[in-house]
Amino acid sequence: MKAETMLRAANSSMGITLLLFVVVAYLAWGLEAEFPLMVVAVLHLSQIVLAGLFKLSYVFRLIAQSQLGQSLR
């Protein structure tokens, strides 16, 4: 995969996973009374999975930046 493509995909993935995390967090913590216990449990589990995917996207971003010779931020 080209480094530019990987960087673009990683940035997009970071944005998407962050947005999904915020939505899931709102559902899990703000509207927990509206859902059955099993749904709330799945929402909390989803937060952990989405946080891991965000971190994985960041690692791919660092790899792409390194390949492009950019400073790592």
- Structurally, the chain folds into a number of domains equal to 1
Closest CA to 15 of 53, 47, 43: 53
Q: Which residues form the domain of 32?
A: 3-68
pLDDT of residue 2: 92
> Does residue 39 lie in a domain region?
yes
Tens digit of pLDDT at every position of the chain (73 positions): 798 999 999 999 999 999 999 999 999 999 989 999 999 999 999 999 999 999 999 999 999 999 988 887 7
DSSP state of 28: I
> Does residue 11 lie in a domain region?
yes
> Does residue 51 lie in a domain region?
yes
pLDDT of residue 71: 81
> Does residue 73 lie in a domain region?
no
